[in-house]
A and B are shown apart, each in its own frame.
Chain A
Amino acid sequence: MSVLGRLFRREDLHSLAAPYALDALDPDERRRFEKHLSGCDACTAEVRLLSEDAVRLAWSTAAPPPFAMRDRVMSAVRATPQESPGNSPAYAPGRAAEAPRRKSHQLPAHVWGTEPPPRTRRAPRMRPIFAPLATLTAAAALVVAALFGVQYTQTQDKLDTAQAEAREIADVLSAPDARATADRDARGQGITAIASASEGRAVVTLSGYGQLPSDRVHQLWLMRPDVQPRSLGLFKGDTPLVVTGLDKSSTSLAVTVEPDGGSEQPTSAPVVQLALESVGFGE
């Protein structure tokens, strides 16, 4: 490409800053522009400014969400491990308890218009069984390329996968009969399931078992009376497993340690088992 051509292309890319800030690029262009951004400090600064402008358009749109959304999100949060902080600012675990808390009535009024926020009364009491589940654990697969994170190195594929996973999880959570159950021991090892009996689906999280040797894997099984266990999939680190096709006869879930790649049938005793009766299964 000629020098002029390159310059033109550059100029052309640069003019995408405003559409980018408005999320008005198609995926290909978005990718191309983000690649361009990673090598252009001036563009990054401009994009940040224009994005702050775009966010102003959101000021006027606030609306109270359905009340039930809160419980669903909080249930999901309790069952969902976080990404490793990685390159985030250093964080001292002790700070959580000491840091001053702002009450929610101090929220920025402008985001509400004249409408009062949904009150936080009836904040769901955290049952001890759930409390330690969402610990600060190793990296989960979910990634975000939100603008100010400037994660330009993320590939779109990875992002798509992560989004699809998040959507699957959110789907289960938004089922009207979604309920949570968990089983944990004193050391904090355990299993959590958020399940919808009507949809036959569940999001299952395993936590506290640490790293297995590289040739071993945690496999999830569906247990039904008088039937061989059915494999529901392999856990990848702390990523929740979304399982489908659960029917009324599903009495419990079990997890075994299997050779890498999984087994046809369990080859060892379960490390943990979880009854599904309380979430609407079993007969």
Chain B
Amino acid sequence: MPKVTVTSVMERGGAVCGHREGTRVGADELLVLVAGGDQKAFEELYGIVSGPVFGLVRRVVRDPAQSEEVSQEVLLELWRSAARFDPGKGSALSWILTLAHRRAVDRVRSARAAGEREQREAQRSHRPAFDHVAEEVEAGMEREWVRRCLDRLTNLQRQSVTLAYYDGYTYREVAERLSLPLGTVKTRMRDGLTRLRECLGGVA
């Protein structure tokens, strides 16, 4: 297991949202090559993004088989529509994870609508939203750092953000679960995200 110090995590955290590092350029360049039909470039891109995509999808969708299915869809979609990526508008990794998150949320909502998850939802609702991370096999430093920053949010900020992002609830559902007015939830989400930015990105 590679040693990761908090300092290095901070630096990396800062680097990814800043403009001075090299790693991000890798995925960006590869995605442009993929848009040109380069299958080798796609293989390399797969090596970089399949873990983040699969992990995020699994975090939202939970069910391993469905997570795999959604991840495959996302990666194939990436191949087909790589030409839509515009490096001027953000990093490749952000673009890809945004796409993956959208698909994961779509899936979990239709599954929820079908009532498949009712039972598990009922059990889970007694625990704070962030607790299910614990079931992840690997508790890396990044996870620790994001968690630490989430801990700095107020309760309502944290719950509003994580119920939406990790659990795929709409802000209306979040408002209902937390018994808050819609306007309050929208504000908590915005404040939560902004504070997260300060904590994760503003440290460098």
Residues of A within 8 A of B (CB): 15-19, 21-26, 48-66, 69-70, 72-74, 76-78, 80-86, 88-89, 91, 93, 95-96, 99-104, 106-118, 120, 123, 126, 131, 134-136, 140, 142-144, 146-151, 163, 166-167, 169-171, 173-174
Q: Closest CB-CB distance, B123 to chain A, in whole Å?
A: 21
Option from A15, A76, A82 in Cβ contact (under 8 Å) with B186: A15
Question: Would you call B128 an interface residue if the criterion is a C-beta within 8 Å of the partner chain's C-beta atoms?
Answer: no
A77 proximity list for chain B (CB < 8 A): 39, 42, 76, 79
Question: Would you call B112 an interface residue if the criterion is a C-beta within 8 Å of the partner chain's C-beta atoms?
Answer: no
Interface positions, chain B 133-154, Cβ under 8 Å from A, are 133, 136-147
Contact status A83-B170, CB under 8 Å? no
Contact status B39-A78, CB under 8 Å? yes
Q: How far is the CA of A158 from the CA of B51 in the complex (A)?
A: 29
Contact status B101-A102, CB under 8 Å? no
Question: Would you call B80 an interface residue if the criterion is a C-beta within 8 Å of the partner chain's C-beta atoms?
Answer: yes
Question: Would you call B121 an interface residue if the criterion is a C-beta within 8 Å of the partner chain's C-beta atoms?
Answer: no
Contact status B140-A56, CB under 8 Å? no
B77 proximity list for chain A (CB < 8 A): 142, 144, 166
Which residue from chain A places its CB closest to the CB of B1 in the assembled complex? A114
24 contacts between A and B (CB under 8 A): A17-B190, A18-B189, A19-B171, A19-B185, A22-B165, A51-B90, A53-B194, A53-B197, A54-B165, A57-B196, A61-B56, A74-B42, A83-B80, A83-B81, A85-B35, A86-B83, A88-B83, A88-B86, A89-B32, A113-B143, A134-B79, A144-B80, A147-B102, A166-B73
Q: Closest CB-CB distance, A54 to chain B, in whole Å?
A: 6
Q: Closest CB-CB distance, B179 to chain A, in whole Å?
A: 17
Option from B4, B25, B48, B102 in Cβ contact (under 8 Å) with A23: B102
Contact status B58-A26, CB under 8 Å? no
B9 proximity list for chain A (CB < 8 A): 110
Q: Closest CB-CB distance, A97 to chain B, in whole Å?
A: 9
Which residue from chain B places its CB closest to the CB of A131 in the assembled complex? B39
Q: Closest CB-CB distance, B121 to chain A, in whole Å?
A: 17
Which residue from chain A places its CB closest to the CB of B54 in the assembled complex? A65
Q: How far is the CA of A167 from the CA of B73 in the complex (A)?
A: 6
Option from B2, B189, B201 in Cβ contact (under 8 Å) with A22: B189
